[in-house]
Amino acid sequence: MALNDHVHWPGVQQVVQVVCERRHHGRRVRETRSFITSLSRERADAARLLAIIRGHWGAIENGLHWVRDVVFREDRSTICAGHAPQNLAALRNAALACLRADAAGNLAATLRSHYRKPERLFTKLGIL
């Protein structure tokens, strides 16, 4: 609670610091990350906060980065000039959000069906 007076964020209850150590090319690498939360100590102790943080990043890694890397093959893209990579990443994120909002079960299969028949996508988006 002592740091709360120095954090100008509405509703902040705790400031959390997580220190991670790992090996990278044989060297020990230490990374410190900071988080803020509106959860009080009564609602979330250190163990609960760590579980929440791990769950959040696990969902991002498995639900977003994996899909972008494997399904969209983003890492294979040769587009690298100007703002094109960021613009395409934004379009991929928008496509994922639309597919998830539409409750598409298997994203890869849904995307393949749109690749084969783009008019399905345009119809879904209300363009056709």
Q: Are 7 and 15 in contact (CB under 8 A)?
A: yes
Say if pTM beats, i.e. exceeds, 0.85: no
DSSP letters for 76-128? G----STTHHHHHHHHHHHHHHHHHHTT-S-HHHHHHHHHH-HHHHHHHTT--
pLDDT at 28: 94
pLDDT in the model for residue 123 = 82
Q: What is the mean pLDDT of each run of 10 residues along the chain (128 residues)?
A: 68 87 91 88 91 79 74 80 87 79 73 79 77
**pLDDT given for residue 27 in this prediction:** 93
Q: Which two tokens stand for residue 58?
A: 């696990």
- Residue 43 makes CB contacts below 8 A (sequence gap 6+) with none
